[in-house]
C-alpha cells in the first residue's frame, strides 16, 4: 500500500508484549504438528525436528511461527480438543524456551486450545473460522489480549467444499469481516489481522477472483494475511503435485504483495523473504 493512500492501515500490533511491525511485509512460517496436512513436506512430529525446522525458519527470516495441530485440509479427520492441545503445547513450550524472541501463533478454531497455547507461550491467535465454530472464541481473545487473525470460511473443514455459493464473492467476505470486526471491537479487541481464506469454501476460479480483487480489502484498514502456499489453486491449475508448487506460490505471493499483503503465510520462508526483498526494490515506498 502506498503511503499517500486514503486508507490508513494499522501497522503495529502488540503480540503479548512483543511489538510486531507491519510497516513492511513479513513472513509467517507454517509448522504443522499433524500427520495428514495436504503438503507432506510440512508435516513434523518429533521434538528435535520441530526445533530444527523452527530454527531454520527464524534464520531464513520468519517473523512469526504458526503452529497447528488440526489439519484443515478439505475433508480432514476431526480430532478431540485434548488431542489437539497435546499436539501443540509441547512444541510451543519448546520453541518459546529455545527461541525466546520468536513470535508464535496458534492455528486453531477452539478456544480451549487457544487458552492452553497462550499459557504455553503463544502470542497470536490464528482462527480459520473467524470465531464462527466456537462461540467462546471472541471472549477468550478479549480476555487474553493478544492479536487475532480472522479468516473467512463457511462451515467446517469437513463441510466447506460444498459451501462455495456467493452473491458477490468479495462483497460477501467483506460483509462477514465487517460484522465480526464490530463484534470483536465491542469486546475491546483492536489488534486484528484479516485473512480472506484462500481455498476455504471457495473453488479454484473463486480463489483467483479473490486474488484479483484483493486490493478491495484495503477499505477495512486492517492488515492482510495471505495464505496461498502450495495450495490446490496452484497445483490443480498447473496439473502438478503440492511438492512441485513452490514456483507457483512465489508468483501468487508476488501478486499478493502488489495488492497490499502485509503477511505471507508460507511453507518456504527463504523463498518468501526473497520475494519480499525483490518486491521492495521495485516498490520501495509501498506499505
- Any long-range contacts for 243-250 (C-beta under 8 Å, 24+ apart)? 243/39, 243/40, 243/41, 246/271, 250/275
Least confident of 17-21, 65-69, 73-77, 92-96: 73-77
pLDDT in tens, 18-48: 889 999 999 999 999 876 554 455 556 678 8
Residue 154 is placed in which grid cell?
463457511
- Output b/e per residue, 154-176; b: 16+ Cβ within 10 A: bbbbeebeeebeeeebbeebbeb
DSSP, residue by residue, 231-274: -HHHHHHHT--GGG-HHHHHHHHHHHHHTT-SEEEES-HHHHHH
Closest CA to 54 of 26, 28, 21: 28
Q: Give burial (CB, 10 Å; 0-12/13-18/19+) of 21.
A: exposed
pLDDT digits 0-9 by tens, 146-176? 999 999 998 777 788 787 899 999 999 999 9
CB distance 148 to 125 below 8 Å: yes
Residue 4 belongs to a domain: no
At residue 7, the pLDDT reads 59
> Mean pLDDT, to the nearest integer, of 98-118?
97
The predicted pLDDT at position 44 comes to 61
CB-CB contact of 234 with 252 (8 Å): yes
User: Is residue 284 scored above 90 in pLDDT?
Assistant: no
Q: Can 265 be counted among the known catalytic residues?
A: yes
Q: Work out the pLDDT band at 1, boundaries 50, 70, 90.
A: very low
CB within 8 Å of 119: residues ≥ 6 apart? none
- The pLDDT value given to residue 39: 47
Spatial separation of the C-alpha atoms in residues 108 and 105, rounded to whole Å = 9
Q: Which residues are registered as beta bridge partners of 29?
A: 65, 266
pLDDT tens for each residue of 177-232: 999 999 999 999 999 999 999 999 999 999 999 999 999 999 999 999 999 999 99
Q: Which of 10, 231, 259, 270 is catalytic?
A: 231
| CATH code of the domain covering residue 154 | 3.20.20.20
Please determine, for residue 3, whether its predicted confidence score (pLDDT) is greater than 60: no
Residue 113 lies in a domain: yes
Cα 283 to its chain centre, rounded Å, is 24
Flag whether 287 is in a domain. Answer: no
Q: Which residue has the higher pLDDT, 75 or 13?
A: 13
Full domain range(s) for residue 177: 12-282
* pLDDT-based confidence at residue 78 (cuts at 50, 70, 90): confident
For residue 2, is it within any domain? no
In the predicted model, what is the mean pLDDT of residues 111-140?
97
Per-residue pLDDT at 43: 55
Beta strands 64-68 and 148-151, pairing class? unpaired
Predicted pLDDT of residue 281: 96
Say what the pLDDT of residue 65 is.
98
Decide if 6 is inside a domain: no
The verdict on residue 155 lying in a domain is yes
Res 217: pLDDT: 97
Asked, for residue 270, whether it belongs to a domain, the answer is yes
Q: What pLDDT score does 8 carry? A: 66
Q: Is 136 part of the annotated catalytic residue set? A: no
* Domains held by the chain: number: 1
Q: How confident is the model at residue 5 (pLDDT cuts 50, 70, 90)?
A: very low
Pick the catalytic residue: 53, 154, 259, 265? 265
195 within some domain: yes
Amino acid at each position: 500500500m502506498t503511503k499517500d493512500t486514503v486508507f490508513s492501515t494499522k501497522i503495529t500490533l502488540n503480540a503479548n508484549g512483543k511489538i510486531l511491525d507491519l510497516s513492511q511485509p513479513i513472513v509467517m512460517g507454517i509448522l504443522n504438528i499433524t500427520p495428514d496436512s495436504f503438503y507432506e513436506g510440512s508435516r513434523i512430529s518429533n521434538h528435535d525436528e520441530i526445533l530444527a525446522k523452527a530454527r531454520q525458519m527464524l534464520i531464513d527470516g520468519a517473523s512469526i511461527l504458526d503452529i497447528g495441530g488440526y489439519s484443515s485440509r478439505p475433508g480432514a479427520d476431526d480430532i478431540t480438543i485434548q488431542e489437539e492441545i497435546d499436539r501443540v503445547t509441547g512444541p510451543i513450550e519448546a520453541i518459546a524456551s529455545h527461541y525466546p524472541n520468536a513470535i508464535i501463533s496458534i492455528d486453531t478454531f477452539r478456544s480451549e486450545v487457544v487458552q492452553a497455547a497462550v499459557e504455553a507461550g503463544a502470542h497470536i491467535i490464528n482462527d480459520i473460522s473467524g470465531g464462527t465454530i466456537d462461540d467462546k472464541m471472541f471472549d477468550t481473545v478479549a480476555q487474553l489480549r493478544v492479536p487475532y487473525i480472522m479468516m473467512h470460511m463457511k462451515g467446517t473443514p469437513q463441510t466447506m467444499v460444498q459451501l462455495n455459493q456467493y452473491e458477490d464473492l468479495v462483497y460477501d467476505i467483506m460483509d462477514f469481516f465487517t460484522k465480526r470486526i464490530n463484534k470483536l471491537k465491542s469486546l475491546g479487541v483492536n489488534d486484528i489481522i484479516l485473512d480472506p481464506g484462500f481455498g476455504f469454501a471457495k473453488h479454484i476460479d473463486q480463489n483467483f477472483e479473490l486474488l484479483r480483487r484483493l486490493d478491495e480489502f484495503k477499505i477495512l484498514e486492517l492488515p492482510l494475511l495471505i495464505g496461498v502456499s502450495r495450495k490446490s489453486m496452484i497445483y490443480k491449475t498447473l496439473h502438478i503435485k503440492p511438492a512441485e508448487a513452490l514456483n507457483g506460490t512465489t508468483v501468487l505471493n508476488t501478486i499478493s504483495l502488489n495488492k497490499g499483503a502485509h503477511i505471507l503465510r508460507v511453507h518456504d520462508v527463504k523463498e518468501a523473504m526473497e520475494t519480499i526483498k525483490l518486491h521492495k526494490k521495485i516498490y520501495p515506498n509501498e506499505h
